[in-house]
Amino acid sequence: MSRLILPARIVCRAAVWPVACAALVCAAQQPAPAPTLTVTSREVLLDIVVTDQSHHAVTGLTAKDFTVTEEGQAQGIRHLEEHRTLSDADVARLKTAPPPPPNTFTNFTPIVNSNAYTVILLDALDTPIDAQMYLREQVIDYLKHLQPGTPIAIFQLDTEMRLIQGFSTDPQALLAAAESKRDMPSLQKPIYGNRDYYLRMKNQILGEGLRSLGRYLAGFPGRKNLIWFTGQLPTWLDGSPSVEEVERRSGNPFRDDFTVFDDTLSGMTDALSLSRVAIYPIDARGLETLPGFDASRRRPGGNQGFLARQGFNQINLDAIAEATGGKAYYNTNGLKNVLAEIVDNGSNYYTLAYGTTNQKWEGEFRHIKVTVDRPGVTLQYRPGYYAVDRAQAEQRQLARLQRRMARGQEPTQDPAGDYTDSPIVDDAGATIKRPKGGFDAAMQLGAVPPTEILFTAHVAIDDNVVKLGKNDPLPQDNYLKPEYKGKPFRNFTLAIHTDASWLKLAQAPDGKRHGALQFVTALYTPDGEMINSINTEADFALGEAPYRKLLRDGLNVKQQIAVPVKGNYFLRVGVHDLGNDRVGAVEIPVDQIHAGIPLPTVAER
């Protein structure tokens, strides 16, 4: 392995968006002796739902009741934790988080009941209109009888993934969202063209939508039960596909994740948490009967084609459920009853950890088999994973970061300090460009807010109104579009505090942690036109002491953006980890920001 010897530093430059860039700087540290990291084991963590013949959750099992094999080799169970549905008394004892202070916005709303989360996905892209109407009635009926305490979010997929209601344990808030026009059935076909183009575009919309959903779910702990009401899954599956074939063809938008337990320099346990999103696909068309037949013909017209289509669709439903540890439902009109069953069983599960005996990480798919020493039980779990070499992934990340650092500037400040604007003006001037890749989608107005990186944005409004003359240049750092130049505006200052524990920094052989972050604030009109933006980028290589300080204090960045006085606008604030494409974003209606409230100090955040 080659050694990367880079100074501890943070540098800044305008890059993807050639707009104003606040300089991030930090104090250079003398290289500390490289710590010795001894990974004593690599564990695999997976969630398991156990049900009896009546489809009820089986509780009270211990580690002795479970047997685990990986590629046929017995594995030693190191830990088993049981999770159960919280009772009304349990929910009442949970402490609700206080509301945030005025002018404080975050991309993560803590839910006190983090045992398990339920996501209701209404697929308007692949569900007939009449089935959508019936489905909506069933969901509303279910929510009318829902008890408080169950965290539920509602999404709809049509031309894109839309968040109807973020996670809430309040049945009235969920019911109001379901009854609103936000999740009304889509009455217009979104795609036009020949059949091949139509299918290709539908699959693309579906893939991008699920990835945005995965980014939204990343910040929420515990098991996530994704209840996917759809009329038809992608048609690329045929026969009886294996789990790895589903993974290979569709990809997994819900990432496995490496974590390290024990905050010491040795004796750490490197754990691979298999994706905690279990998909429960449900045929939203309910119980379908065979089409009628023509008595003048020898056999029912179209019956064989109907049965074939039904058969393939059910194979698809079963395949995606099996690959993610969920369960498929079809040929039932009792959609609200299915909802209740999934929520109950999905909230009663076991988290099992075993130390894999296979320490060769060469990217192959590994099959897991779990059995329970109880008669008549059914197990739901993700039956395998790809053995990705984390070390190689870090090497690739370090190589990317090294190329960025080679183009950077020398630092002068602390990485966990409070940064103010020291702009580097790009030659492009007022030109505004959108970032590329996954961050681009996350920064669009109205996009599903990702929680792969958690942060808080505090906003303050300058009392002074700026009104430029016809020939006056824009003040430094203001890049309002030309048509807004003559309109009065105020400067809005944002203090962005990022929780550094969510950053996936790469560690070089010299012990330093390397990373690169991008902070973007964009100003939108209600129709989605971007009229202003500011971009801040930071590259850093940190020794052990500044890295610990960064974890403790977080990363604080200040940005200032001009907002016209008249009109209705939205701020979209995003944090992008450029080393691994993890993203966090939050949308702020400008009319929810109040004047006269100063920014908090670093100690108050």
Q: Which residue has the higher pLDDT, 289 or 13?
A: 289
- 388: closest CA among 368, 357, 367, 366? 366
The answer to whether residues 565 and 488 touch, using CB atoms and an 8 Å cutoff, is yes
What pLDDT digit, counting tens, does each position of 245-272 carry? 666 655 668 888 877 554 444 445 678 8
Q: Which residue has the higher pLDDT, 7 or 85?
A: 85
What pLDDT digit, counting tens, does each position of 305-361 carry? 544 556 567 788 888 899 899 999 998 889 999 999 999 999 999 999 999 999 888
The answer to whether residues 120 and 155 touch, using CB atoms and an 8 Å cutoff, is yes
**Residue 527: pLDDT band with limits 50, 70, 90:** very high
Distances, alpha carbon 266 to alpha carbons 37, 108, 259, 506, in Å: 5, 32, 15, 17
Question: Which of 379-383, 469-473, 484-488, 592-596 is predicted least confidently?
Answer: 469-473
Q: Is the pLDDT of residue 36 over 70?
A: no
**Residue 92: pLDDT band with limits 50, 70, 90:** confident
Q: Is the pLDDT of residue 237 over 60?
A: no
Instruction: Write phi, then psi, for 365 (nearest 5 degrees).
Output: -85, 130
Q: Is the pLDDT of residue 368 over 90?
A: yes
Residues 3-17 have a mean pLDDT of: 32
What pLDDT digit, counting tens, does each position of 163-193 carry? 999 999 999 999 999 998 776 655 555 566 6
H-type helices in 152-220, by residue range?
171-179, 195-217
Q: Is the pLDDT of residue 416 over 60?
A: no
Q: Is the pTM of this model over 0.85?
A: no
Amino acid at 339: L
Which pLDDT value is given to residue 31?
Answer: 40
The answer to whether residues 536 and 495 touch, using CB atoms and an 8 Å cutoff, is no
Amino acid at 411: P
Between strands 266-273 and 161-168, the pairing is unpaired
Residues 430-448 have a mean pLDDT of: 67
Cα gap 484→481, rounded to integer Å: 6
Question: Which of 69-83, 273-287, 515-529 is predicted least confidently?
Answer: 273-287
Which stretches of 373-438 are assigned E, i.e. beta strand?
Answer: 378-380, 384-386, 418-419
Distances, alpha carbon 286 to alpha carbons 125, 127, 143, 179, 222, in Å: 17, 11, 19, 21, 30
Residue with token string 């346990």: 269
Residue 107, SS3? coil
Which pLDDT value is given to residue 569?
Answer: 97
Distances, alpha carbon 33 to alpha carbons 260, 265, 394, 509, 539, in Å: 21, 12, 21, 11, 22
Extract the tokens encoding 527.
Answer: 């129709």
Q: Percent of the chain scored above 90 by pLDDT?
A: 44
Distance of CA 451 to the CA centre of its chain: 5
Between strands 378-380 and 38-51, the pairing is antiparallel
Question: DSSP states of 507-537 as a string?
Answer: EPTTS-EEEEEEEEEEEE-TTS-EEEEEEEE
Cα gap 309→330, rounded to integer Å: 13
- The superfamily (CATH) of domain 113-346 is von Willebrand factor, type A domain (3.40.50.410)
Q: Which residue has the higher pLDDT, 140 or 244?
A: 140
Question: Domain residue spans in the chain?
Answer: 10-28+410-604, 113-346
Which pLDDT value is given to residue 40?
Answer: 52
Which pLDDT value is given to residue 455?
Answer: 96
**What H or E segment, with its residue span, contains residue 377?**
none
Q: Is the pLDDT of residue 196 over 60?
A: yes
Cα gap 531→484, rounded to integer Å: 8
Cα gap 520→479, rounded to integer Å: 14
Q: How far apart are the first and last CA of the chain?
A: 40
What pLDDT digit, counting tens, does each position of 397-409 carry? 888 777 776 765 4
Q: Which residue has the higher pLDDT, 480 or 476?
A: 480
Which pLDDT value is given to residue 80?
Answer: 96
Which pLDDT value is given to residue 156?
Answer: 93
